[in-house]
Structure 1
Amino acid sequence: MCGNNMSVPLLADAVTVSGAERETAAVIFLHGLGDTGHSWADALSSIRLPYVKYICPHAPRIPVTLNMKMVMPSWFDLMGLSPDAPEDEAGIKKAAENIKAIIEHEIKNGIPAKRIVLGGFSQGGALSLYTALTSQHQLAGIVALSCWLPLHKAFPQAASNGVNKDIAILQCHGEMDPMIPVRFGALTAEKLKSVVAPSKVQFRTYPGVMHSSCPQEMMAVKEFIEKLLPRI
């Protein structure tokens, strides 16, 4: 572990895809339940921009109630996947603090908050939404794939003083998702429009796609990142 990452536990072994030239922006991307940062580092490498640093941390391994208490990489405990399932409030807030520590670290290293996009898939997308909307920093945008907004009943009040009320959100969802039905994605998009300016929320769905990503979705993510993080 290199010295300056010691105070940011998730950064110590995060997968980082460095830019091919001077890095003036960062994308922090959070994987889904049971996965690691490696799979998304690979996916993001295929759409990378040379001046952007991609950081894909690994979730800690914890017992997950939804999966019979099996220990696996998970950002927080999951009890159920329906909008009214009980939630691990303490775990979600702690996870968000850990991601905020990564954001702080990048800002200290010279990448301004407005040049940072936070994103994730499934549980990681859920955490990226919660973290960005409760952040004290004005971030560039959020990429929320196949996910939901955790602790949704706490919003819009939980959004920190509206710092990110103008944040751009790209939300994508497979129309055949058996884990997190597309209808939950649509409900989430509606909820987000009560937290940020409605025109800032894009909700795109992909026919035939299950709980996964597809090339068209990755191209939409690339265009979104390119638009928010243009070359300086």
Structure 2
Amino acid sequence: MSQFDGASYFNSPAHKATVIWLHGLGDSGDGFAPVAPHLALPEELGVKFLFPHAPVQAVTINGGMEMRAWYDIKSLDLDKRADAQGVQQSAQRISDLIDEQIAAGISADKIILAGFSQGGVIALHLAPRYQHKLAGVMALSTYMSQPELLAEQAIHKDLNIFMAHGEFDNVVPLAAGKQAYECLQEQGMAVSWQTYAMAHQVCEQELEAIRQWLVERLS
């Protein structure tokens, strides 16, 4: 039985593909759920969106306040920002969710792993290391945990990755996203990089690009 806890969206006659979209710190799966109908993907693609909730836990930089988080943040220094153990635990949880989709008959090459901010960190950590090659990764306004380990640990170095970042992001600096992009590019991955005149958020122009990319990857 599925252990999925979160929001979902599905309006197609047949389930042929899945997008698993991970939210940012303090948000929930409900936060990005309205994006799915807004994207208005063609019904014939049969895309089901899953927006899992991160667990509730204490976050050090927020004074130990409990909130939904994929991992603890103990420092704002980029090389210490993502708690490696927490990243691995959340990555395992999402790996299990992907396994469920495959067991239900959805091929790995019809599964997209997407994430915003903290969620993007999990997506970028998991997808290159996951046992099956996914259709693609969407990493929005995010950065990378332990980029120095990617070359050694990545199983798939030919992933297709869509990255986007706000030029005025005051939460995850633009340079942090660019660093992740360059690291992925060095491994030979098919990674694209887009910036938009926005802060730590998504914008309409970005959503249009996301829609086009999803259609291309899942057609």
Same-fold status (TM-score > 0.5): yes
User: What is the CA distance between 1:86 and its match in structure 2?
Assistant: 5.4
| Aligned counterpart for 1:47 among listed residues 39, 43, 46 | 39
Question: What letter is aligned with 2:201?
Answer: S
Output the CA distance in 2 between the equivalents of 1:173 and 1:16: 25
Output the CA distance in 1 between the equivalents of 2:157 and 2:207: 25
In the alignment, which residue of structure 1 is the partner of 2:68?
73
Contact 1:171 1:189 in 2 (8 A): yes
| Aligned counterpart for 1:225 among listed residues 196, 214, 217 | 214
User: What is the CA distance between 1:90 and its match in structure 2?
Assistant: 1.3
Contact 1:81 1:179 in 2 (8 A): no
User: What is the CA distance between 1:153 and its match in structure 2?
Assistant: 1.9
In the alignment, which residue of structure 1 is the partner of 2:196?
206
User: What is the CA distance between 1:166 and its match in structure 2?
Assistant: 1.5
In the alignment, which residue of structure 2 is the partner of 1:191?
183
Output the CA distance in 1 between the equivalents of 2:47 and 2:179: 32
Distance of aligned partners of 1:96 and 1:196 in 2 relative to their CA distance in 1, 3 Å threshold: farther
Equivalent position SS for 2:172: coil
Question: What letter is aligned with 2:170?
Answer: P
Equivalent position SS for 1:154: helix
Distance of aligned partners of 1:74 and 1:44 in 2 relative to their CA distance in 1, 3 Å threshold: same
In the alignment, which residue of structure 1 is the partner of 2:162?
170
Q: TM-score, normalised by structure 1?
A: 0.90
Q: TM-score, normalised by structure 2?
A: 0.95
In the alignment, which residue of structure 2 is the partner of 1:17?
9
In the alignment, which residue of structure 1 is the partner of 2:129?
134
Equivalent position SS for 1:90: helix
The runs of 5 or more residues in structure 1 that have no matched partner are: none
| Residues 33-69 of structure 1: CA deviation (Å, up to 9, x unaligned) | 0001112111122104221000000000000112111
Output the CA distance in 2 between the equivalents of 1:201 and 1:210: 22
The runs of 5 or more residues in structure 2 that have no matched partner are: none
Determine what percentage of the aligned residue pairs are the same residue.
35
Number of equivalenced pairs: 216
| Residues 132-168 of structure 1: CA deviation (Å, up to 9, x unaligned) | 11101110000000001112121111213xxx21111
Output the CA distance in 2 between the equivalents of 1:196 and 1:65: 35
Distance of aligned partners of 1:87 and 1:181 in 2 relative to their CA distance in 1, 3 Å threshold: closer
Contact 1:34 1:73 in 2 (8 A): yes
Distance of aligned partners of 1:184 and 1:220 in 2 relative to their CA distance in 1, 3 Å threshold: same
